[in-house]
Structure 1
Amino acid sequence: MDFPNCTEGVFATSSGDYDSLETTKPPPSKILLTLTLSVLAILTTFFNCLVITAIAVTRKLHHPANYLICSLAVTDLLVAVLVMPFSIIYIQKESWVMGQVVCTIWLSVDITCCTCSILHLAAIAIDRYRAITDAVEYSRKRTGARAGAMVAVVWLLSILISLPPLLWRHYSRDADHEDQCIIIHHHMAFTLYSTLGAFYIPLLLILILYYKIYRAAQTLYMRREASRASRHSCMTNGSMIPSSYPAGDGDVDGGPRSPEPISPPEKSFSEPSTEEPPRERVRVSVKAFHCKSRRHESRSESRRSQFYQGPRISGSRERKAASTLGLIIGAFVICWLPFFVKEVIVNTCSSCSTSVEMADFLTWLGYLNSLINPLIYTIFNEDFKKAFQRLVRCSHYL
């Protein structure tokens, strides 16, 4: 994202240097860099198209929450198609060669789409927070129209954040930088306005909301485990008594067994049959009684093992939720924080500057978030996994 807070000299080169570049062959490092960035742009296009197609053709994914994911994928797709290719040409040529009209359009799309992508992440965090903390009430309000309204608000805020710097560039055009496509300003107000609105406020909101989501999920798991324990206690209370076992039938450690349910008496004890001798009937009935007792014992043991595995399962779920949230927040912070820290430092410190290579690297590190978003927001969802598998296998389904 070629953000509006760029310093003089970034991507700048003299006309004489540009003429010499046209007559010389690009070095291998420049070719390798161009190929690498092109691969990133292609992968970003592919994965975001995959997400959009999966949501469009899979009926099970037609949910208001996934509309925000689809809108995020559309925004990141615009970054891949309309922003990255021009940036690759800009880096390869080291000068803007496509005219000022195209430059204005590119800057507008760049700033707006990158800001919109970041604000989409905040909107998804708000939606998930409401869904987990007010599930019953929010499930009635969570409609397609409400999701569409959230998308419209996100795009409107992105335009409002991006428009003032673009207007400033239009009215303060500098003839000394005709071969560049940047926005040059030295006003603290623009720095605060653009960086706070496009990154720092959404970052703070995302951190707070995902922390609350994790705490709410933790509380929900604890309540479910308490509910399971209460149901297990009600199931066994009053119907269990300690059982005595012959030597060798107890547990391996020799400790007492848990109470077992009393098996109902076998029918053969009370209703003698005329088809068998009495001793045979007693022998068979005792054998059947022991078989049934063992079946009850195995069922009770299985029930107890499931009960005692509950906290372990809950712990694994909490770890999975924590790792998922960590990936979402970590990817966002790693991709965009260095760029915006650089913007604040460069535009508040008159003696500070960055090299062209560092500016390119930080810009593309932010673009990389558009490649990561469709992966981390869908890969942990089983419905998305199945939809991707069917799309890759070219299966036709509804």
Structure 2
Amino acid sequence: MSTNSSPPAAEQLCYPNVTGSCLKAPYSPGPRLILYTLFGFGALLAVFGNLLVVISILHFKQLHSPTNFLLASLACADLLVGVTVMPFSMVRSVESCWYFGPSFCTFHTCCDVAFCYSSLFHLCFISIDRYMAITDPLVYPTKCTVSVSGICVSVSWILPLAYSGAVFYTGVYDDGLEELSRALNCVGGCQTVVNQNWVLIDFLSFFIPSLIMIILYSNLFLVARQQAKKIEHTGGKTESSLESYKSRVAKRERKAAKTLGITVVAFMISWLPYSIDSLVDAYMGFITPAYIYEICCWCAYYNSAMNPLIYALFYPWFRKAIKVIVSGSVFKDRSATMNLFSEQM
């Protein structure tokens, strides 16, 4: 919206002395400080929160399980979003200019997409893991081993990185939109125009795993509810040692599934606005205002900072691990073998 006191045109360019520079739409000092604080806090939380998750799972031997290795790998993806994506997107969002060059723009976009799908794949595998743990807890340890977890982790990294690199480094994403892409890519801009075919593929790549997770968790919670009723029904009867063990295992797995279900829901809520906006935008002629696009992006980015908060809220072992790490006790002898579940057992 124009005002009578607008600054000179040169001051409204990202690079005033460069021909073909993008226009700059700077914020006033107050909103600028608020946005840098908000986005910067999200980036720091994504980095240090997920770093705590990774250190906790890798250091404490009691946490060395197939599911937790998937969680640690998921935390690595979120940590990398906080390192390679959020800081640079923060500058772009607040300054409305890209000051890091076209090559890094491509790399940034590639990382953005790859780490998003990596998180999605991790969550999908975790959903399958939890479903098997709930529905068949006695056979689960023989089917879901560390080796199987390693294969899931490898797939969750290799496929997204290969897909993202192939799409953005070959330039196929803007086939048919070359003129629009050249018009938008002024000096100081980092706008990626993706054609309808690839936007549809991206949306289906998000929607299908999300649908699988919704189905699995819906069935999972139905099974968990039946198990809870069965345990309640037999509560007054004498249980065999096997039945008692099965009840304890089922209770523990239901609690873990609930927490991871919240993580999945948080992911889908965070990424759904961006996915829908991208799909609608591609088929409606790229009409989304810049500020709407930025809001959708940052809702998605902030998901990388949410998971450690969810773990801290629902996992007593994570809170205890944080205390040990922050206090420096993690450097003491035998800290790796300490019991993190004493409060729960």
User: Same fold, TM exceeding 0.5?
Assistant: yes
What amino acid is aligned across from residue 168 of structure 1 in structure 2?
G
Q: Distance in 1 between matches of 2:197 and 2:173?
A: 17
Matches within 5 A, 1:350-365: 350=285, 353-365=287-299
Partner residue of 2:265?
330
The answer on whether the counterparts of 2:130 and 2:253 sit within 8 Å (CA) in structure 1 is no
Fraction of identical pairs, as percent: 33
Return the match for 1:39 from 16, 29, 41.
41
Return the match for 1:61 from 60, 63, 69.
63
Q: Number of residue pairs matched?
A: 302
The answer on whether the counterparts of 1:64 and 1:143 sit within 8 Å (CA) in structure 2 is yes
Return the match for 1:348 from 245, 267, 283.
283
Matches within 5 A, 1:222-371: 222-231=229-238, 324=259, 327-350=262-285, 353-371=287-305
Q: Distance in 2 between matches of 1:338 and 1:230?
A: 50
The answer on whether the counterparts of 1:68 and 1:120 sit within 8 Å (CA) in structure 2 is yes
Q: Distance in 2 between matches of 1:49 and 1:217?
A: 32
The answer on whether the counterparts of 1:161 and 1:194 sit within 8 Å (CA) in structure 2 is no
1:81 positional shift: 0.4
1:18 counterpart = 2:14:
yes
Structure with greater Cα Rg: 1
TM-score (norm 1): 0.68
Partner residue of 1:212?
219
Q: Distance in 1 between matches of 2:135 and 2:64?
A: 22
- 1:92-132 per-residue CA deviation (whole Å, 9 max, x = no partner) reads 33122221111111111111011111221111111111111
- 1:350-385 per-residue CA deviation (whole Å, 9 max, x = no partner) reads 3x6111111111101001111112232464233223
- Judging changes above 3 Å, is the alpha-carbon distance between structure 1 residues 59 and 138 closer, same or farther for their aligned structure 2 residues? same
Partner residue of 1:221?
228
**Structure 1 spans left out of the alignment, 5+ residues:** 1-12, 235-315
Q: Distance in 1 between matches of 2:64 and 2:163?
A: 31
Q: Distance in 1 between matches of 2:77 and 2:256?
A: 26
**Structure 2 spans left out of the alignment, 5+ residues:** 1-8, 17-22, 241-250, 337-345
Q: Distance in 1 between matches of 2:130 and 2:111?
A: 28
What amino acid is aligned across from residue 202 of structure 2 in structure 1?
S
Secondary structure, aligned partner of 1:18 = coil
Q: Distance in 1 between matches of 2:54 and 2:253?
A: 29
What amino acid is aligned across from residue 63 of structure 1 in structure 2?
S
Q: Distance in 2 between matches of 1:37 and 1:228?
A: 50
- Judging changes above 3 Å, is the alpha-carbon distance between structure 1 residues 32 and 169 closer, same or farther for their aligned structure 2 residues? farther
Partner residue of 1:280?
none
Q: Distance in 2 between matches of 1:168 and 1:370?
A: 27
Q: Distance in 2 between matches of 1:123 and 1:67?
A: 11
Return the match for 1:119 from 111, 121, 135.
121
Q: Distance in 1 between matches of 2:263 and 2:111?
A: 24
What amino acid is aligned across from residue 150 of structure 1 in structure 2?
C
What amino acid is aligned across from residue 394 of structure 1 in structure 2?
G
Q: Distance in 1 between matches of 2:126 and 2:264?
A: 12
Secondary structure, aligned partner of 1:196 = helix
- Judging changes above 3 Å, is the alpha-carbon distance between structure 1 residues 192 and 205 closer, same or farther for their aligned structure 2 residues? same
What amino acid is aligned across from residue 99 of structure 1 in structure 2?
G
1:155 positional shift: 1.5
TM-score (norm 2): 0.78
- 1:279-301 per-residue CA deviation (whole Å, 9 max, x = no partner) reads xxxxxxxxxxxxxxxxxxxxxxx
- Judging changes above 3 Å, is the alpha-carbon distance between structure 1 residues 364 and 346 closer, same or farther for their aligned structure 2 residues? same
Partner residue of 2:343?
none
- Judging changes above 3 Å, is the alpha-carbon distance between structure 1 residues 189 and 19 closer, same or farther for their aligned structure 2 residues? closer
1:182 counterpart = 2:191:
yes
- Judging changes above 3 Å, is the alpha-carbon distance between structure 1 residues 196 and 25 closer, same or farther for their aligned structure 2 residues? closer
